[in-house]
Chain A
Amino acid sequence: MIRKFLYSQKVAPYVFVLPFILVFLIFWVYPLGSSLGMSFQQIQLGQEAEWVGISNYDKLLGDGIFMKAVLNSAVYMVLTLVILIPLPMLFAVLINHKFMWGREFFKSSFFFPALTSVVVAGTIFRLMFGEMEGSLINSILGWFGIEPVKFLKGQVTGFIALLALAAWRWTGVNMLYFLSGLKNIPDEYYEAASIDGASSFQKFMKITMPLLKPTTIYVITISIYAGLAMFIESMMLWNGNNSPKNIGLTIVGYLYRQGIERNNLGYAAAVGIVLLAITMVINLSQLTLSGMFKKEE
């Protein structure tokens, strides 16, 4: 009986996916449902929750700091896309080139930052971008006769530091994605193109780019989540969740501030639901536009 059950072609697949389904239900669907419920409540841990309807969402709409956090996260996401898609792709193509020397060295040195802890990296970047004359970046600026800049106190300069950290940390990871994508492109295509007299640029535009599309879509998709959900980088760069004038506050940072620091879990849950909604809308429309949902031909 048991054997028959296990050997059944209909049942077996379900048995195999069961662990994933269970993990998904317990750790993802349940918390999601419970956050959704919490976002309609006034909750302070250890005390009775109280249903308050949509008042958390209503409050969010008029909350300038939340809007600031959404704006910060959105700008950060867009700028990381602008930096962290083309550059790693370019580096991948260069490293993959047959005349490239020291390939393994570049691969590992680009990837190395991803292995360091954000805590350490954030602290070092904070010191590098310190406002004192003696900090690394300000001493470099000093050689060119530029006055010391208070990097972490200004919106634009703060974002420069944040993006420098992101670029330093993630270029290598994205580059590896592109490298593995490039390995899947058969050399024959390039040879054929060479015979037809195509230039390197033409080969890149007509062969590399289109065939890398699935990888690019994947990298864009994960970069969108990563950008919108960024939190630790900002927390470490500003040595806490409270950057001056909230220039480094992100959506998750605000969720943390309200939920953990303020013990206002219902409101924080509403912030989380809004983050989920924003991310889903952006990603699903991005995937639709790039044709991921089209039927395979």
Chain B
Amino acid sequence: MIKKWFVGFLVLAMTMLWGCGGSNNAGGTSSVIDGGAGEDATELSYWTFVELHGQHFEKMLGKWNQDNPDRQIKLNVTVMPYDDMHNKLSIAVQSGTGAPDIADIELGKFPDFLSGTPQLVPLNDVIDPYRDTIVQSRVDLYSKDDVNYGVPTHVGASVAFYNTEILEEVGVDYKEIVTWEDFKRAGMKVYEQTGKYMGTADTSASWQASMLLAQQGADYTDEAGNPQVNSEAMIRAMTVLKDLQDNQVIATIAGGQPDTEEAYGEFNAGNYVSAFMPLWQMSRYTNYMPDLSGKIAIAPIPVIEEGMPRSVGGGGTGTVITQTAKDIQLAKDFLAFAKLSLDANKEIWNTLGFDPVNMDVWEMKEVTHNPENAFVQYFVNNPFDVLNEIRDEIQLIKSTPATPTINNILSTTTYNEIFEDGKDITQALNDAQQQIEQELK
């Protein structure tokens, strides 16, 4: 009798032991940067998922410590993988222990941090002095009920990146590509003559879908923020892409989208001619695709019909301050200085190659056309020539509480069904809509 009890007990115990086994031990790398700070500097901790962001803060920290000798700061920067950092931050912020003072939160994850009563510090007072100089819609992305919780990093205007070497080989001028029809004709020519694909059919990210929706003035959600991924506009967007795929103009890529390690390799080898990505993809080119230096041109994205807006803000990082920060006022002042001041905006371009939220910088030729700049050197044309051409056409995709769920369903399931399995577009989008509604219930 004892034995029966004991075995049952053992099974229960072991079942639970195994259930607990799922811990993920990626600690990330930490380093303290002092930026010339003295002994009694306050040490603030900063988490990010992009190593380059730390470099930007390092530059700004040096300037801050020089200008504010009585409020010096040392910054303890921890870089972690994307999912890992957001998961850890979410738990730390909500449970009130273990959170850093300053942290980067990616746009796609931001709504999760705004649910209920946000456990982040309102930043309106430090953003106010700069409000007139920066793009308001980028601040709105990180806000709830007019309270700003995050400081934006860039505009993230979407552009097209063309490999001019291959295009010249087949006699295509990328400047003449205005509509998706033009793109299709060029792509068919490329495939016929070289067997290479003109572009990618993205299965693991929504960049392309966002661009095509924005061109039609549409969004993933309706006015009230309810998901509507099976809208006419979305069907039309997918139909355009699917048609390109059927004509061998675009093809799926390893990794599922241009911003992945596998895809960098494919692009670097010249297997795909173009990528449609937010401007920050530039830094991926300079860092991971060295063989393409001097071959990549930047241009506006093709449109469905001429006259449609040619760009949309894509991605983004909101830097936040947690309520458990050691010195909230100091962290706020430093953050505004490091990301919103004019100097900061110039450095965001110099170090990171991002399109700064202070659009005045876009017109400062000495900054944007600086021949010393690694990005200016790498690309065939100057990105700001394109940015200034499309500056009034940059649309916005709303960020709502439903956004993380919508992103998850579309980029794990729906795009794969459409571009890998050839599932009927309307059917795939209806299924997605149903699943999203179910999850949000």
A interface vs B, CB < 8 Å? 24, 28, 31-32, 44-47, 59, 62-65, 119, 130-132, 150, 153, 221-222, 225-226, 229, 231-232, 235, 240-246, 252, 256, 260-263, 272, 275-276, 279-280, 283-284, 287, 292-293, 295-296
Q: Which residues of B contact A260 (CB under 8 A)?
A: 87, 90-91
Please tell me if the beta carbons of A293 and B7 are within 8 angstroms of each other in the complex. Answer: yes
Assembly CA distance A46 to B119 (angstroms): 8
Query: Is B175's CB within 8 Å of the partner chain A?
Result: no
Query: A63-B439, A232-B24, A242-B408 known; A24 and B203 CB under 8 Å?
Result: no
Can you name 23 A-B residue pairings with CB atoms under 8 Å? A45-B94, A45-B95, A46-B94, A46-B119, A59-B441, A130-B254, A132-B254, A132-B266, A153-B420, A221-B11, A232-B21, A232-B22, A235-B24, A242-B408, A242-B411, A244-B256, A245-B412, A262-B405, A263-B94, A275-B19, A276-B19, A280-B12, A284-B8
Partner of B14, one of A63, A132, A222, A296: A222
Please tell me if the beta carbons of B417 and A245 are within 8 angstroms of each other in the complex. Answer: yes
Q: Which of B389-414 contact A (CB under 8 A)?
A: 404-405, 408, 411-413
Q: Which residues of B contact A65 (CB under 8 A)?
A: 435, 439
Please tell me if the beta carbons of A262 and B7 are within 8 angstroms of each other in the complex. Answer: no
Query: A46-B93, A262-B404 known; A24 and B13 CB under 8 Å?
Result: yes
Query: A244-B203, A263-B94, A283-B15 known; A231 and B22 CB under 8 Å?
Result: yes
A270 to chain B, nearest CB (A): 13
Assembly CA distance A241 to B87 (angstroms): 12
B58 to chain A, nearest CB (A): 29
Q: Which residues of B contact A45 (CB under 8 A)?
A: 90-91, 94-95
Assembly CA distance A288 to B263 (angstroms): 52
Please tell me if the beta carbons of A244 and B15 are within 8 angstroms of each other in the complex. Answer: no
Assembly CA distance A240 to B94 (angstroms): 23
Partner of A276, one of B16, B254, B262, B405: B16
Q: Which of B424-441 contact A (CB under 8 A)?
A: 435, 438-439, 441
Q: Which residues of B contact A243 (CB under 8 A)?
A: 412
Partner of B90, one of A130, A246, A263, A280: A263
Looking at the complex, which of B43-51, B110-118, B309-317, B326-334 is the stretch in contact with chain A?
B110-118
Assembly CA distance A35 to B21 (angstroms): 16
Assembly CA distance A43 to B347 (angstroms): 42
Query: A44-B116, A45-B95, A262-B112 known; A225 and B8 CB under 8 Å?
Result: no
Please tell me if the beta carbons of B19 and A46 are within 8 angstroms of each other in the complex. Answer: no
Convert B1-38 into 0s and 1s, putting 1 for each residue whose CB lies closer than 8 angstroms to a CB of A: 10110011001111111110110111000000000000
Query: A45-B91, A130-B254, A262-B404 known; A244 and B3 CB under 8 Å?
Result: no
Query: A47-B116, A232-B22, A260-B90 known; A241 and B83 CB under 8 Å?
Result: yes
Q: Which residues of A contact B405 (CB under 8 A)?
A: 262
Query: Is B416's CB within 8 Å of the partner chain A?
Result: yes
Query: Is B422's CB within 8 Å of the partner chain A?
Result: no
Assembly CA distance A244 to B408 (angstroms): 10
Query: A229-B21, A252-B22, A272-B19 known; A244 and B204 CB under 8 Å?
Result: yes
Q: Which residues of B contact A284 (CB under 8 A)?
A: 8, 11
Is chain B's interface secondary structure helix, strand, loop, or mixed overall? helix
Please tell me if the beta carbons of A225 and B412 are within 8 angstroms of each other in the complex. Answer: no
A91 to chain B, nearest CB (A): 24
Assembly CA distance A145 to B22 (angstroms): 40
Query: Is B171's CB within 8 Å of the partner chain A?
Result: no
Please tell me if the beta carbons of B24 and A263 are within 8 angstroms of each other in the complex. Answer: no
Assembly CA distance A119 to B12 (angstroms): 28
Please tell me if the beta carbons of A46 and B11 are within 8 angstroms of each other in the complex. Answer: no
Please tell me if the beta carbons of B3 and A296 are within 8 angstroms of each other in the complex. Answer: yes
Query: Is B98's CB within 8 Å of the partner chain A?
Result: no
Q: Which residues of B contact A150 (CB under 8 A)?
A: 420
Q: Which residues of B contact A232 (CB under 8 A)?
A: 21-22, 24
Please tell me if the beta carbons of A242 and B439 are within 8 angstroms of each other in the complex. Answer: no
Partner of A47, one of B18, B91, B117, B439: B117
Q: Which residues of A contact B90 (CB under 8 A)?
A: 45, 260, 263
Q: Which residues of A contact B129 (CB under 8 A)?
A: none
B397 to chain A, nearest CB (A): 20
B81 to chain A, nearest CB (A): 9
Partner of A244, one of B19, B119, B266, B420: B420
Q: Which residues of A contact B95 (CB under 8 A)?
A: 45-46
Query: A44-B94, A246-B413, A262-B404 known; A252 and B19 CB under 8 Å?
Result: yes
* Max chain B C-beta neighbours (<10 A), residue from A46, A119, A261, A296: A46
- What 5 additional pairs, Cβ within 8 angstroms, besides A244-B413, A245-B412? A45-B95, A64-B438, A229-B21, A229-B22, A293-B7
Query: Is B96's CB within 8 Å of the partner chain A?
Result: yes
B420 to chain A, nearest CB (A): 6
Assembly CA distance A292 to B8 (angstroms): 10
Please tell me if the beta carbons of A62 and B438 are within 8 angstroms of each other in the complex. Answer: yes
- Which residue of B is nearest A59, CB measured? B441
Q: Which 7 A-B pairs have the closest CB atoms?
A: A45-B94, A46-B94, A225-B18, A229-B18, A244-B416, A231-B22, A47-B116
